[in-house]
Amino acid sequence: MSSWIKTLASFIAPTTFITALLLFFGFAYTDSLYEYFGIDAATLAFSTQGYLLRSSAALFLPAAVVLSVALVAVLCHSAVEFLVARQSDLLPRARRACHALMALAPVVFLLGLLAGLNVVWRPSPMAAPLLMGGALALFVSAHLLAVRCTGAPYPLAREKAVLTTTAALIALCSFWATNAFAQQKGTSDAKQLAAHLWVRPAVVLDTTERLNLSWSGLEETSLPETTSGQHFRYRYRRMRLLAQSGDRMFLIPNDWTWRAGEVLVIPSSPGVRVAFHAG
C-alpha cells in the first residue's frame, strides 16, 4: 500500500498538474455562474489567478468526499489486517462479504453507464461518473480485502496492468464528477446571488451621454451644469456590480430577473464616473 501511495504522490506532486486542475475547475465554476446571467466566461476574461481563487468553491466538497472515502478504505484495510492476525475464524465471513460486494459492483457500473447514456432515466450529471467510478473502486477494494483475507500479498503480479487501468478509469470518473459538480455549483450559486442581489455593491453611475436603458426601477437624473468643468450630464442609480474584469465593469439592475434581465458592460473611460456604496 505504501508503494502505491508513493507512486500516486509522485504523480500529483508537480505544481503544474495541480495548477492545471484548479484552473480547469475554476473556469467550469465561473462559466456556469455567469452563464446564468447571460455572460460567457470568455467575455469576462478573468486572469489565471482569478480562476484559481474561484476553484475553491467547487473543490471543497469533492476533496472532503475523497478524503473521507480514503479514510474508510484505510480503516477497512486495518480491520482486515486485524482479522488476519488474530481472528482467523471470522475470515470466511469476511471473504463472503467481499465476494458479495464484488458481485454488486458490475450492477452499479451498469446503472452508471445507463445514466451516462440517458437510456433509462435522466439523472443528475454527476450520477454517471459517481456510479461508474464508485463501482470500480468498490470492486478493487473488495477484491483487495478478499485477497488479504487469505494472507496473500496484493496486488498479484498478473493483475498489476488491470489495476493500473482501473485506477486510471477511477481518476477519470473523479475528474468527470468534479467537473459536473463545479458546473452545478456555479449554477446554484448564480441562482442564490440573483435572489440576494443586495449582497453586491450598489453603483452610482455618471455619464456624459444618455444610456437609454429600459430597466425596471432604474433611476435617471439629469445633472446640473454647476461649473464649466462639469461634463457629466446623467446619473443612474439602483444598479449592482455583478463582476469586474480588467478595466470593464458588468452592471445589472436591482430588479434583475432571469427572463428579462440584461447586463451592462461599462469600460473605464473619461466618459463615465462610478461610485460604490453598500445597501
pLDDT digits (tens, 9 = 90+) for 167-182: 888 888 888 888 999 9
Least confident of 36-45, 72-81, 136-145, 218-227: 72-81
- Mean pLDDT across 141-157: 74
Residues 27, 33, 39, 44, Cα dihedral to 10°: -40
Would the pTM count as exceeding 0.85? no
CA angle (228 as vertex; 223, 230 as ends), nearest 5: 35
- 31-69, pLDDT tens digit by residue? 999 999 988 888 888 888 888 888 888 888 888 888 888
Q: Name the nearest CA neighbour of 279 among 222, 237, 243.
A: 237
pLDDT number for residue 162: 80
pLDDT number for residue 121: 64
- Residue 131, Cβ density class (10 Å: 0-12 exposed, 13-18 middle, ≥19 buried): buried
CB 200 within 8 A of CB 193: yes
pLDDT number for residue 20: 82
Q: In the predicted model, is pLDDT for residue 202 greater than 90?
A: yes
pLDDT number for residue 190: 92
Q: In the predicted model, is pLDDT for residue 1 greater than 60?
A: no
Q: Which three cell numbers stand for residue 203?
A: 453603483
pLDDT number for residue 119: 65
- Residue 260, Cβ density class (10 Å: 0-12 exposed, 13-18 middle, ≥19 buried): exposed
